[in-house]
């Protein structure tokens, strides 16, 4: 399993929620899913200067499926329609292979 921990600076919760709803079927088609999802009220230590108010894990069967998902044309359209209007910054906190299934 290929996993990522991602931090976001979400500026519009409603539009971001629409993004999540629209992208989930595409994510599922690539064997992807979310593991954890947190709204963060305070960041005590960070390696970046951009704010983070949402942290989640996203996982795929392997890195290749992750790459295919993020370049899928349907996903790109959803991202353009919702994500770009609701998220100011994205921070990839970690990427790793895991034994979780």
Domain 2-97 fold is Alpha-Beta Plaits (3.30.70)
What is the value of pTM for the model shown? 0.92
In eight-state DSSP terms, residue 38 is E
Is it the case that residue 101 has pLDDT exceeding 70? no
> Quick check: 96 and 8 in contact, CB under 8 A?
no
Average pLDDT rounded to a whole number, residues 22-44: 97
> Quick check: 90 and 6 in contact, CB under 8 A?
yes
Average pLDDT rounded to a whole number, residues 82-86: 97
> Average pLDDT over the chain, rounded to whole?
96
pLDDT confidence bin for 38, thresholds 50/70/90: very high
Domain positions in the chain are 2-97
């Amino acid at each position: 399993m290929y996993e990522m921990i991602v931090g976001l600076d979400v500026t519009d919760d409603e539009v971001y929620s629409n993004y999540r709803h629209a992208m989930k079927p595409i994510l599922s088609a690539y064997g992807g899913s979310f593991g954890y999802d947190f709204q963060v009220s305070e960041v005590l230590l960070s390696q970046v200067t951009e704010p983070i108010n949402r942290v989640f894990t996203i996982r795929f069967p392997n890195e290749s499926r992750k790459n295919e998902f993020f370049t899928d044309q349907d996903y790109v359209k959803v991202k353009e329609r919702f994500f770009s209007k609701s998220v100011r910054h994205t921070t990839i906190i970690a990427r790793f292979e895991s034994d979780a299934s």
